[in-house]
């Protein structure tokens, strides 16, 4: 077992005195007979991109030699947000910390060989660096300019374009009703999420991380410490730390401990379309209507997030609805790109955003009371690109008791209780 260092203020680190203790109370009572008991320094609930990233960065640290167990209910990952996402990365955020977080995401996605090589083999994540293009009407221009100013302070390679400049660069666009646009010149694009996930998992396994198929159904606490994680198959894992990486189901995991987490599963559709036109190296384009599209090989994918008071119910189903394509997506696409008038819908899928209803930003780090519970939740549609920085940050926290490279503490759970949002405006 790895020693758990004291916290910076000298108080014992969470898990330091609890994890070797036999769990008190009702272990197994909620699930019938306990069939196996094991111990882990770190139990990660959910093994998709966030869980695998935390596991990889932690296992790679020379100052950590503890046992890491990743528990995943669906090892096919077919229903995870990770494999159902649009798999894109940008630096055009409105929150400076999100820009820094994506910057490290870019470093890893652009250079997976530096982080994920195993026996000389590197995952092929196929990064397509076409940029993001945010479009604005008069109503959105001030926000676009505000975000641009935030981004330029951090040297993000981004440029504001007038409608005329926009059309000069992208002659396929209808700019009649636009007031301006913001284009990322480098460091933005899309990649193969499945390859990235498999790359993280392979790296984690090569470093000794244990992947376990199972569903976490209960978590026991012992005062202000989590003591035991219980699986549906009766396994009981005495845990030093527990990382909640359960994506859209994160609030269910928190609720097992009586903790309220304002993360809700919200369905998002991705429509895969064919158009009788090539737009060259088109960027991922975000229309003022909220509809976005980007090339996907020779075809395109498109989607939208509900705006204003449009319904956006909590749901964990993955049933695809094609009606919004006809009603919302296609009209917006055809308006913006006249050549899209003749689209053909090839297929469509649904996935879940894990929406932080307070401020559309991630919730990362320890619970203020249950200090050996770590959150990595609420990414609200940008978790894939944030996985590298969040994994690295939580690994630092577990191993050393502090964030060392990038201070993620503004994203801590405390702001939830205080109702102090750090609102991300650029949500796609
Ligand atoms: C349509 C769509 C488009 C997106 N586009 C982008 C994008 O372009 N760029 C970007 O950065 N992000 C994007 N995202 C968001 C991104 O996909 C997510 O933020 C990210 O994948 C979250 O990763 P995760 O590991 O936290 O969650 P998930 O990938 O959902 O993984 C959570 C895992 O936890 C497991 N789990 C849950 N409960 C339990 C339990 N009780 N026991 C054991 N295991 C459990 C699940 O089975 C699952 O595998 C998009 C999402 C969607 C849906």
Would the CB of 16 count as within 6 Å of ligand 1?
no
Take atom 18 of ligand 1 and give the residue whose Cα is closest.
383
Q: Is the pLDDT of residue 259 over 50?
A: yes
- For ligand 1, the distance from its centroid to the CA atom of residue 82, given in whole angstroms, is 4
Give the count of beta carbons closer than 10 Å to the beta carbon of residue 27.
18
Q: Which atom of ligand 1 is nearest to the CA of 82?
A: 21
Would the CB of 248 count as within 6 Å of ligand 1?
yes
Q: What are 285-306's pLDDT values in tens digits?
A: 999 999 999 999 999 999 998 8
Q: Is the pLDDT of residue 10 over 60?
A: no
CA distances from 11 to 4, 8, 242 (A): 11, 7, 19
Residue 234 in contact with residue 32, Cβ under 8 Å? yes
CA distances from 365 to 25, 76, 294, 397 (A): 27, 27, 33, 8
- For ligand 1, the distance from its centroid to the CA atom of residue 192, given in whole angstroms, is 14
Residue 220 in contact with residue 23, Cβ under 8 Å? yes
Position 35 confidence tier, pLDDT thresholds 50, 70, 90: confident
Would the CB of 77 count as within 6 Å of ligand 1?
yes
- For ligand 1, the distance from its centroid to the CA atom of residue 22, given in whole angstroms, is 33
The token pair that represents 29 in the structure block:
């009572």
Q: What are 141-178's pLDDT values in tens digits?
A: 999 999 999 999 999 999 999 999 999 999 999 999 99
Would the CB of 301 count as within 6 Å of ligand 1?
no
Q: Is the pLDDT of residue 24 over 60?
A: no
| Mean pLDDT of the residues in the chain | 92
Question: In a mutational test of the pocket of ligand 1, which residue from 30, 45, 82, 304 has the highest number of ligand atoms less than 8 Å from its CB?
Answer: 82
- Give the CA count within 13 Å in the CB-facing half-sphere of 212: 24
Q: What is the pTM of this model?
A: 0.93
Task: Round to whole Å and give the CA distance between 414 and 397.
Answer: 16
Task: Round to whole Å and give the CA distance between 295 and 281.
Answer: 8
Residue 41 in contact with residue 240, Cβ under 8 Å? yes
Would the CB of 45 count as within 6 Å of ligand 1?
yes
Task: Round to whole Å and give the CA distance between 194 and 236.
Answer: 30
Kind of pairing, strands 132-136 and 284-286? parallel
Residue 52 in contact with residue 200, Cβ under 8 Å? yes
pLDDT of residue 32: 53
CA distances from 62 to 28, 43, 118, 169, 206 (A): 35, 19, 17, 48, 14
pLDDT mean over 58-71? 98
Q: Is the pLDDT of residue 4 over 60?
A: no
Would the CB of 155 count as within 6 Å of ligand 1?
no
Take atom 45 of ligand 1 and give the residue whose Cα is closest.
46
**What b/e sequence results for 264-297 when a residue is b if at least 16 CB atoms lie within 10 Å of its CB, and e otherwise?**
bbbbbbbbebebeeebeebbbbbbbbbbbbbbbe
pLDDT of residue 21: 32
pLDDT of residue 29: 38
Would the CB of 81 count as within 6 Å of ligand 1?
yes
Q: What are 327-374's pLDDT values in tens digits?
A: 999 999 999 999 999 999 999 999 999 999 999 999 999 999 999 999
Closest CA to 63 of 19, 3, 115, 6: 3
- For ligand 1, the distance from its centroid to the CA atom of residue 81, given in whole angstroms, is 3
- For ligand 1, the distance from its centroid to the CA atom of residue 86, given in whole angstroms, is 11
Would the CB of 90 count as within 6 Å of ligand 1?
no
Would the CB of 270 count as within 6 Å of ligand 1?
yes
Q: Is the pLDDT of residue 5 over 60?
A: no
Question: In a mutational test of the pocket of ligand 1, which residue from 44, 286, 362, 384 has the highest number of ligand atoms less than 8 Å from its CB?
Answer: 384
CA 287 to chain centre: 22
């Amino acid at each position: 077992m790895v020693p758990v260092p004291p916290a910076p203020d000298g108080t014992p680190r969470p898990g330091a005195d609890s994890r070797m203790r036999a769990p008190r109370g009702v272990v197994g009572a909620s699930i019938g007979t306990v069939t196996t008991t094991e111990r882990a320094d770190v139990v990660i609930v959910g093994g998709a991109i966030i869980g695998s990233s935390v596991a990889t960065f932690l296992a790679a640290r020379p100052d950590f030699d503890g046992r890491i167990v990743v528990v995943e209910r669906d090892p096919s990952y077919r229903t995870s947000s990770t494999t159902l996402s649009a798999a894109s990365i940008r630096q055009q955020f409105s929150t400076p910390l999100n820009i820094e977080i994506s910057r490290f995401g870019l470093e890893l996605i652009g250079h997976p060989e530096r982080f994920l090589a195993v026996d000389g083999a590197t995952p092929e994540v196929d990064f397509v660096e076409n940029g993001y293009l945010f479009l604005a009407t008069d109503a959105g221009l001030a926000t676009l300019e505000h975000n641009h100013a935030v981004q330029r302070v951090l040297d993000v390679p981004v440029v504001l374009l007038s409608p005329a400049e926009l059309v000069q660069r992208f002659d396929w666009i209808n700019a009649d009703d636009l007031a301006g646009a913001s284009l990322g010149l480098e460091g933005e694009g899309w990649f193969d999420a499945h390859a990235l996930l498999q790359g993280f998992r392979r790296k984690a396994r090569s470093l000794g991380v244990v992947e376990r198929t199972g569903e976490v159904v209960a978590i026991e606490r012992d005062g202000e410490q989590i003591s035991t994680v219980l699986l549906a198959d009766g396994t009981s894992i005495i845990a030093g730390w527990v990382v909640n990486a359960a994506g859209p189901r994160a609030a269910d995991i928190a609720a097992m401990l009586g903790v309220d987490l304002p993360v809700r599963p919200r369905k998002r559709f991705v429509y895969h379309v064919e158009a009788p036109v090539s737009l060259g190296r088109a960027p991922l384009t975000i229309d003022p209507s909220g509809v976005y599209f980007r090339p996907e090989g020779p075809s395109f994918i498109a989607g939208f997030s509900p705006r204003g008071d449009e319904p956006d119910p909590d749901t964990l189903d993955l049933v695809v609805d094609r009606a919004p394509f006809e009603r919302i997506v296609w009209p917006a696409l055809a308006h913006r790109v006249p050549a899209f008038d003749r689209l053909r819908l090839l297929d469509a899928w649904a996935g879940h955003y894990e929406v932080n209803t307070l401020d559309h930003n991630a919730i990362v780090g320890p619970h203020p009371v249950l200090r050996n519970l770590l959150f990595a939740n609420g990414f609200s549609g940008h978790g894939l690109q944030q996985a590298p920085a969040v994994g690295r940050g939580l690994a630092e926290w577990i191993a050393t008791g502090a964030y060392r490279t990038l201070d993620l503490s503004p994203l801590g759970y405390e702001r939830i209780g205080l109702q102090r949002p750090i609102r991300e405006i650029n949500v796609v």
